[in-house]
Amino acid sequence: MNDTNKTNILILTRKTKENANSIYNSYTNGIIENYPQAIVLDYFDLYFQNGKKKFEAEIFKQIAEHQINLVFINFVSGDLTFDLIFLQTITSKCFLLMNFYDTELFFEPIDRYYAQCADLVILPAASNFTHSYKLLGINAIATFSLFDTKLYKKQNLTKDIDISFVGDVSKKSRQAFLNYLLEAGYDVQIFGRGTKNGTVSFEKMKEIFSRSKINLNFSDTVEERNFNKHTNTDYSLVPEIMQYMTQLKGRSIESALCGGFVLTQYAIGIEEMFDTDEIAIFKDKKELIEKVKYYLNHDGRRKQMQEKAYQKALERYDASRAFSKILTKIDKHNRSKKTIYTDKEFLHNFASHHALYFFNFLFKLQLHYAVEEWNIMRHNGIKLTTLLKHLRQQFYYQIIRKILKRK
């Protein structure tokens, strides 16, 4: 794929409001900067608007009309929209590239099944996790999280916040660390859903990173295996034992891109993401206090480290640079055909997820689309608990919210 004029790319991703969640936009922008002719479709919107058959037909239409020879699917975490047979058909026509967020959690119940159809999988994870894919004969590489670095600017703002954390504090382990700092007398500014300061905009988040002497980051994964009503993600699919697992977060890279100093909880592979002279690491409460005390009292050392981390983030985690390397090395003619395997559990999860679309179409009285979803659910079996969760959610979004707006 050395001749960009002969490479036509279709990107299937989630489009977000301008910078609301920069990760999806960053991956898209990174490809488009190298291949401006790339076609971008929001696969969620396309499915919600067209139903299964028209959704798949539209993608095949785009492939034919634009002579697409590479399809990139940027999966939403824990998503089960795509039919495996449909993906098999795509890979018979095009080179299929996939990216999985939170694959540490969803590898077993979801990602490994979809990845069978891929010619290459890229992972925002440490290299050790690629072995799980390679054991199944799946070609995978680790990239860590990639960002559109033009969206992040190092601001020369007064460091008037000693310690900050921006994120989800519903996890008990995070709250325990934060409370420990507060009880020790440190001034910690906390932002996010469920906090006194509430959620903040993308612009405000970048400002906080720049104003903070220390930006905290945590590496815990899932504590409560439940249904996230904000994202329709069913974390009950994640095995209980995964609560032991720590996970590298893109937030450390985002903080560094804003010129912020990062103090992060340890996770396996963090040494690959940043060196110890670029960010600081803690493993327990005692070490957290020690590191906070040291770096608040050593401005010079802190500034040296944050500058090194900034340069590393610009060089290694810029989406445009990363995709330039990845896409130019792909040989779209050197591909292996694989038998695609499924298990009963995966098919149950797939069918149960499609209750989301079934109730969406049902409440919008798009009955022909609802029938398509019902057939998926009927043939593969469903999990009643997931069905009820999607029923409640879609009843709220499609019925209750509309009634409240009229009032």
Write the DSSP string, 98-147: EEETTHHHHIIIIIHHHHTT-SEEEESS-GGGHHHHHTTT--EEE----B
Same domain, 303 and 350: no
Same domain, 208 and 271: yes
For residue 150, give the DSSP letter: G
Determine, yes or no, domain membership for 337.
no
Same domain, 102 and 192: no
Same domain, 205 and 267: yes
Q: Which domain holds residue 265?
A: 149-316
The enclosing domain of 20 has a CATH number of 3.40.50.2000
Distances 279 to 124, 209, 257, 265, 312 between C-alpha atoms, Å: 19, 14, 12, 11, 11
Same domain, 61 and 155: no
C-alpha to C-alpha distance for 245 and 145, rounded to whole angstroms: 18
Determine, yes or no, domain membership for 336.
no
Confirm if 337 and 117 have CB atoms less than 8 A apart.
no
Same domain, 105 and 48: yes
At CB < 8 A and 24+ separation, what contacts does 43-51 make? 43/12, 43/13, 43/14, 43/73, 43/81, 43/82, 44/14, 44/76, 44/81, 45/15, 47/81, 47/357, 48/357, 48/360, 50/369, 51/357, 51/361, 51/366, 51/368, 51/369, 51/372, 51/373
In tens digits, what is the pLDDT along the chain, a chain of 407 residues?
444 458 999 999 998 775 456 899 999 999 999 999 999 999 999 999 999 999 999 999 999 999 999 999 999 999 999 999 999 999 999 999 999 999 999 999 999 999 999 999 999 999 999 999 999 999 999 999 999 999 998 988 999 999 999 998 887 789 999 999 999 999 999 998 878 999 999 999 999 999 999 999 999 887 667 777 777 788 888 888 887 888 999 999 999 999 999 999 999 999 999 999 999 999 999 999 999 999 999 999 999 999 999 999 999 999 999 999 999 989 877 777 788 999 999 999 999 999 999 999 999 999 999 999 999 999 888 888 888 888 988 988 888 887 877 65
Q: Look up tokens 């325990």; give the residue.
A: 176
Same domain, 132 and 234: no
pTM metric for this prediction:
0.92
What's the structural domain count of the chain? 3
For residue 75, give the DSSP letter: E
Same domain, 104 and 48: yes
Determine, yes or no, domain membership for 76.
yes
Confirm if 264 and 253 have CB atoms less than 8 A apart.
no
Determine, yes or no, domain membership for 277.
yes
Confirm if 69 and 7 have CB atoms less than 8 A apart.
yes
Tokens representing 16 are 């977000």
Same domain, 230 and 301: yes
Give the end of a domain, one of 124, 143, 162: 143
Determine, yes or no, domain membership for 335.
no
Same domain, 181 and 305: yes
